Structure 1
């Protein structure tokens, strides 16, 4: 039986945190800096496409902020992850370990390389890959041959593990790195959602050999579309830049290509938008963390609802604020979603687990009991920077 009183209380408590508007989206961009100035400069000078000063500037500023040697800006986060997996050596029939509880692009990027997504479980405390369960699983199904990891059941090589930092909350990276070392795996981080998030005072995306970030319109900063490959490996960065610019050999007028490349270049006009957004990133993170604090305070006395918080070893950008529905809560997820959305508060469930999608249902997978449990418990609530009702600072 639905407890209407508790439902009403929850909706009202969320409303207390939010501005008094008829409709509040889940996450929208905020343009409060020099976005128009930089974009107008592109238009005025005619440098709107794949060449221009803002691409180089955006890559440099982003590398400085994250703390890596190189950034390669591309058209979206999926393209960034595709190229990262490709140049790290994912080949036809290689298995790529990844959470089933992630956005579909994580799996798609592996398939673009001819790889096989192999789904592993997540842990409740971080929503990221469970390193301990993964290690036990590999003891059951994997073997080391010629200093490489192979699946004893399928016979395929297991090449890479891809942790994803869910909703901006860092996965527990150190034990995952130990698993990678033990099982001869390469880590490629899907940091699409975690720009501005830190694990043990080090930015996400800097632990793997190479990683990917997204700047889609709903991310913490946006370039309209857009993504980036990040790495400390200069050779990998040079190869990523070459492949994403159609593998064209530099020349003043000739068009000679030496590899099968991809037209994944970020246009200058998008990079201009990104430069302005990046200048606002510290302010955005401050606002989002304050919004998360307000949600936590507002919901603390409602039994059966847990506001998801960062772990002690991490600092999250709180990209999407998250509620966990616990067993004692009498409302069903879909009824809660209906109540929130009908109140003008756009809310959504987490992504459908990838191992349950028709194109991936026959892929290799471990026990995914936590994934399946969390997929029914998680709700995202409005998280835009502009929702913070503090000072104008």
Structure 2
């Protein structure tokens, strides 16, 4: 079975060389647009391509406002600040995620609370969230959600759309509303994914995207905050060192961050965004081909949740157990095909070992079985115009 999988991957990528998990493809206007920024000398955080990327991303996602940042972690950090997460607060999130989700909480001086995920979405479980809150939280006379053990304020809920598959947003929105929690979506991996026709990252108070080199489209490094008009304006202020407009004076009215995306990176992103629909179409076809290849095997291909359209950022399979997971990883990597296990659960990391943690049967089950397969798009010649 593993040899059939290896043969499939090599045939798809048409090479006997090393095959990475997700490499970027530059088949459009990338060189032309980056050249324009160099010729203009506006290569830093002021420039036409930054404004264009924000405008085009707002249109693409249907968000009222999009604010570009230097990376997805910076976007998360500012998004949490915008919903008043601060020192001593708690933020509920999932243990099965990339470490940046939790790090952004810690940057605010807050502590994560780890609640279980759903197996069919790989994202934060509304049922587990509601169950944990009923057992461990209450709402005070001012409507604040507080942890019973220490009366600490639980300020927000931060789900992540794992591998581009949307979490159960209807359920999460409902529970967050009932408990007075701000919903901030970590949509770093889900650009182009929709939940019942609406783009991920636009259901909560705020959402964030990532344009790291391994994402569906890339700016080299980069991220985006999705927000309404009011919070979007405040996000831009905070990410540009909280500087007040003035012809020549330097006036900063609060603690801000030098998080604005450089124009050079935005130029790359604009060219990539022009090709996004083509990239996603190819990735969805690859997912369908993987599913067909593995249909009669012991591996279960992870498919998009019902009612959702996933970008299939990283294709994933479920192995019967950890032993066969490890065997798959060893055989494929030895033969020059990059595969990776899902992340180690965040509550196992030393900096989050003391964080409050609920029962995690699904997260533990998935941690022992999930393997990511090569998922990058192939070169797309001929895509040169918007």
Q: TM-score, normalised by structure 1?
A: 0.94
Q: 1:89 aligns with which of 80, 84, 90?
A: 84
**Counterpart in 1 of 2:340?**
348
Which range moves more in the overlay, 100-109 or 335-344?
335-344
Q: 1:135 aligns with which of 130, 134, 153?
A: 130
**Counterpart in 2 of 1:358?**
350
Distance (Å, rounded) in 1 between the aligned partners of 2:4 and 2:376: 22
Shift of 1:313: 1.2
Which runs of structure 2 are paired with 1:198-213 in the superposition (5 Å)?
198-213=194-209
Q: 2:299 aligns with which of 286, 295, 305?
A: 305
**Counterpart in 1 of 2:260?**
265
Change (3 A) 1:128 1:76: same
Deviations along 1:321-343, one digit per CA (max 9) or x if unpaired, are 0011125xx95222210100111
The 8 Å contact of residues 54 and 271 in structure 1, kept in 2 or not, is answered as yes
Which runs of structure 2 are paired with 1:268-279 in the superposition (5 Å)?
268-279=263-274
Which runs of structure 2 are paired with 1:12-161 in the superposition (5 Å)?
12-145=7-140, 146-161=142-157
Runs of 4 or more, structure 1, over 3 Å off, are 6-18
The 8 Å contact of residues 18 and 387 in structure 1, kept in 2 or not, is answered as no
RMSD after superposition: 1.5
**Counterpart in 2 of 1:3?**
none
**Counterpart in 1 of 2:287?**
292
Change (3 A) 1:13 1:29: closer
Change (3 A) 1:387 1:23: farther
Distance (Å, rounded) in 2 between the aligned partners of 1:112 and 1:341: 35
Deviations along 1:254-290, one digit per CA (max 9) or x if unpaired, are 1111111110010011111111111111111111101
Change (3 A) 1:59 1:392: closer
Change (3 A) 1:377 1:345: same
The 8 Å contact of residues 14 and 298 in structure 1, kept in 2 or not, is answered as no
The 8 Å contact of residues 26 and 379 in structure 2, kept in 1 or not, is answered as no
Q: 2:212 aligns with which of 199, 213, 216?
A: 216
Shift of 1:136: 1.3
The 8 Å contact of residues 219 and 268 in structure 2, kept in 1 or not, is answered as yes
Which range moves more in the overlay, 72-81 or 286-295?
286-295
Shift of 1:155: 1.8
* 2:351 alignment partner, SS class: coil
Deviations along 1:186-244, one digit per CA (max 9) or x if unpaired, are 10000000000000000000001111100000000000000000112x22111111111
Is 1:371 matched with 2:366?
no
Q: Which runs of 5+ in 2 are unaligned?
A: none
Is 1:252 matched with 2:247?
yes
**Counterpart in 2 of 1:182?**
178
Distance (Å, rounded) in 2 between the aligned partners of 1:155 and 1:8: 55
Shift of 1:20: 2.6
Q: How many residues align?
A: 382
The 8 Å contact of residues 10 and 16 in structure 2, kept in 1 or not, is answered as no
Distance (Å, rounded) in 2 between the aligned partners of 1:241 and 1:155: 33
Distance (Å, rounded) in 2 between the aligned partners of 1:97 and 1:163: 8
Q: TM-score, normalised by structure 2?
A: 0.96
Distance (Å, rounded) in 1 between the aligned partners of 2:86 and 2:17: 50
Distance (Å, rounded) in 2 between the aligned partners of 1:76 and 1:9: 38
